[in-house]
Amino acid sequence: MNNNERFNDASHVIVIGAGLAGLSCAFELVEKGLSVTVLEAAPHVGGRTANWNEDGMEVESGFHKFIGYYVALPELLQRAGIELDSIVHWEKTTQICHPEAQGVFGLDPLKAPLKTIAGALGNNTLLSPMDKASLIPFFTAGFKDYVANPKKLDHIPIRDYAFEHGVTIDALERLIEPLSSGIFFLPIEQYSTYAFFGLFAPALPRPQLIRIGAFEGGMTDVMTGPLAHAIEQRGGKVMTNAPVEQLIVQDGRMNGVQLQDGTVMQADQIVVAVNIGQAKRLIGQQFGDHEGFADLMKLEIMPYVTVQFEAKEKLAHADHTFFGPGTQLGSFSEQSRTTFKRDSGRASIILVDPDELIDLPEEEVWAKTKDSLQKIGLSGVDTMTDYRVIRMRDSFYRLSTDNEQYRPRQTTPIPGLFLAGDYTSQPLLATMEGATISGQRAARALLKAQKEKVR
């Protein structure tokens, strides 16, 4: 690459970031015939949907599952020639493991309706009939308020909203907590009620698609890597080990980017598709005081902490999703039968309350993880042979109260500059589906701006 590489093609676009948001945006643009270069800082594509070798152990960016009611992501994969059922194993059950009680719930109302109904009606040790009854007015009011008054919901922590509607303590700790903290890490006293109902609301029109899938391999290997390949097959370019140092602005509009090695790549249209922390850094360097980016700069960030380990024995009898309310465990899974196939054990765990864990030494994080697994009776952890703590300080926007209002749109006040990422405004929160939607919206906005410029 020349030190000052110029793309003379007026339709050229630089996409910064090869996570799902950047790749989905780039795919849409190359499909429309644009010249696209994707720049990724890491040695691999995928962003928060990636796997790699970490000092001799195969790891992933974090414990991920594919949700059955996603629409945009499955459609994107199909267009890219990636067969969803070949990369995802659909789970039939999920398990809630509280230190004092456990329950198994059916997850496939379409193919296993009896098991799904039995799970809802049974598990009375985990949730009594009174506990279950207390959830009815809570969910009824919550989905109604989500439609009628979403801003109100974002002011209220899910714990307070549950108590307002008569949810019992056990129902709060053993079901509401797994469905909030177990998915997006935050304690229930911080977790936004809007975020809680927003995650499940898209499933209401198609409840038969409420199911969870485990990846049949690392996410870079089976999903984002093939998606990057599909972009290149269509004429795009995906560059790894290409960290962007700063945006280049000339006469108030985008003119290109400078890489950390000093290379300058010029283009009039830039899509910033990195995580929220990196986006704030890049945008803040040039436009930190710009009124049009005030909301982005106010949007709070939260860390995540995940522990992944190998063991002589399998942690659990099945590779399905577990939740660990009442412990440090948010959600987790044995993965030796699906994502990281082997005869011995291999597990991945998302930990709750990452604010308290992000700066702890790795051995302390591991000790808390091991203690929590032992509390819920999973002794396979005692045969651990190797582990890694994978954590990131600024990859997620914080799904706490009063933060939703600051999520920015994909368009910006700077000509030629667009944003993509699950933190931007779209209805599927911090999910793979949300990242995909954000990338597609950024692509549509860019194409529209280009068309208007031609006129």
**In a shared domain, residues 102 and 146:** no
**In a shared domain, residues 138 and 283:** no
pLDDT of residue 205: 82
- Residue 49's closest CA among 377, 40, 135, 342? 40
Decide if pLDDT at 302 tops 80.
yes
- State the CATH number of the domain containing residue 143: 1.10.3110
Its domain, for residue 154, covers 127-205
- Report the predicted TM-score, pTM, of the whole model to 2 decimal places: 0.94
Structure token digits, residue 416:
């030629």
* Domain limit, last residue, from 371, 397, 423: 397
- State the CATH number of the domain containing residue 388: 3.90.660.10
**In a shared domain, residues 307 and 290:** no
Answer yes or no: is 180 within a domain.
yes
pLDDT in tens, 219-273: 999 999 999 999 999 999 999 999 999 999 999 999 999 999 999 999 999 999 9
**In a shared domain, residues 317 and 391:** yes
**Residue 186 contacts residue 220 (beta carbons within 8 Å):** no
Q: Which residue type does 249 have?
A: V
Answer yes or no: is 240 within a domain.
yes
**In a shared domain, residues 334 and 198:** no
Q: Which residues make beta-bridge pairs with 100?
A: none
Pairing status of strand 88-90 against strand 93-98 = unpaired
**In a shared domain, residues 225 and 113:** no
pLDDT of residue 8: 42
Answer yes or no: is 69 within a domain.
no
Structure token digits, residue 422:
């699950």
Q: What is the dihedral of CA 83, 87, 90, 96, to 10 degrees?
A: -150
Pairing status of strand 345-351 against strand 329-334 = antiparallel
Q: Which residues make beta-bridge pairs with 323?
A: 96, 331
Mean pLDDT, residues 297-315 taken together? 97
DSSP symbol at 71: -
Cα(201)–Cα(216) distance, integer angstroms = 27
pLDDT in tens, 183-192: 999 999 999 9
How many angstroms separate the Cα of 31 from the Cα of each of 7, 70, 76, 443? 19, 22, 11, 11
Number of structural domains in the chain: 3
Q: Which residues make beta-bridge pairs with 294?
A: none
**In a shared domain, residues 272 and 404:** yes
pLDDT of residue 108: 62
**In a shared domain, residues 383 and 420:** no
Decide if pLDDT at 5 tops 50.
no
pLDDT of residue 204: 85
pLDDT of residue 3: 36
Answer yes or no: is 76 within a domain.
no
